[in-house]
Structure 1
């Protein structure tokens, strides 16, 4: 009788024992999958635009501790400088639509650096495609465990030939999921 109870106890212990943690690949990292929706302000350098504004959607997928792949779709509108308005250029703002992918590296929980490369389309006036290269640094201000604000400052280089170079300031609402 004692041997049967001991055998049953060992079988039950075997079913209850865990040799390792059961986590998905995403739960192993402190950086989580996230989506962000934000607004942007642009300060162009040395061209015929005086300022710009826009909106973007960004998706983030962790691939290693503190490293995530990111993808961004943006829409940006740029106002022409008054001395360039006239017959040569339109008076309406120019619309740029970049689609980029890259990586985000976290230095701790709140500060990050990211780089993006992709392409885009100028929807007005020129109606042409362009290459997009972007680099930025940012700060994540946590609201709770899964929601945060994402503040960043960066540099954009859009174009081939006559490039649009701009400093960009972004604010986004960021929601994480596991």
Structure 2
């Protein structure tokens, strides 16, 4: 996992260093897919997570944007746990609604770093709400005037009774508001 994240980061840095376009400082909305890879104790009984989110980017300066994110992601239990839960009639997945706000800083026209904090609301009975923090890196490249494809990777931690951590990979389509 560390090798994949390092390779992705290096590829983004190299690509960003060759970028020649001027980034628009207009407000944008991105709609994308998130793929979560649990790590630590969270990975002991959960497999990959899959979901989607919308992220608004509102300019505060030419390089810094205020972000607001809302979405849904679900994690499935590993097969032995899933089979045991299914046998007693329980949910075979956990669903969450993350609500986050933060900032995104563009180091170059395409390469950025971001950080968000917020809440993760569980949709299953008894899952509750947790504090979320999520630093990340990404690369956004234009596909037409005012429209971008965005690739991002972030570490995300959920702090509640037990901590859950994951790496999340995102691909999104962004357009002007």
1:35 matches 2:32: no
Looking at structure 1, the residues matched to 46 and 89 of structure 2 have their Cα atoms a distance apart, in angstroms, of 11
Task: Name which structure has the greater RCO, CA cutoff 8 Å, separation 6+.
Answer: 2
Q: Which residue of 1 aligns with 2:60?
A: 63
- Structure 2 counterparts to residues 98-113 of structure 1, below 5 A: 98-113=98-113
Looking at structure 2, the residues matched to 30 and 174 of structure 1 have their Cα atoms a distance apart, in angstroms, of 12
- Structure 2 counterparts to residues 56-135 of structure 1, below 5 A: 56-85=53-82, 86-87=84-85, 90-135=90-135
Kindly state the Cα deviation for residue 158 of structure 1 after the two structures are TM-superposed.
1.6
Secondary structure (helix, strand or coil) at the match of 1:102 reads strand
Could you say which structure has the larger radius of gyration?
A: 1
8 Å CA contact 2:132, 2:157 repeated in 1: yes
Kindly state the Cα deviation for residue 174 of structure 1 after the two structures are TM-superposed.
0.1
> Where does the alignment leave 5 or more consecutive residues of structure 2 unmatched?
1-22
Looking at structure 1, the residues matched to 92 and 109 of structure 2 have their Cα atoms a distance apart, in angstroms, of 42
Looking at structure 1, the residues matched to 142 and 168 of structure 2 have their Cα atoms a distance apart, in angstroms, of 22
Looking at structure 2, the residues matched to 72 and 78 of structure 1 have their Cα atoms a distance apart, in angstroms, of 19
Kindly state the Cα deviation for residue 83 of structure 1 after the two structures are TM-superposed.
3.2
Residues 62-82 of structure 1: CA deviation (Å, up to 9, x unaligned): 111200000000100001112
Q: Which residue of 1 aligns with 2:172?
A: 172
Report which of the two has the higher share of helix.
2
8 Å CA contact 1:117, 1:133 repeated in 2: yes
> Where does the alignment leave 5 or more consecutive residues of structure 1 unmatched?
1-28
Q: Which residue of 2 aligns with 1:162?
A: 162
8 Å CA contact 1:77, 1:96 repeated in 2: yes
Does 64-73 or 90-99 show the bigger shift? 90-99
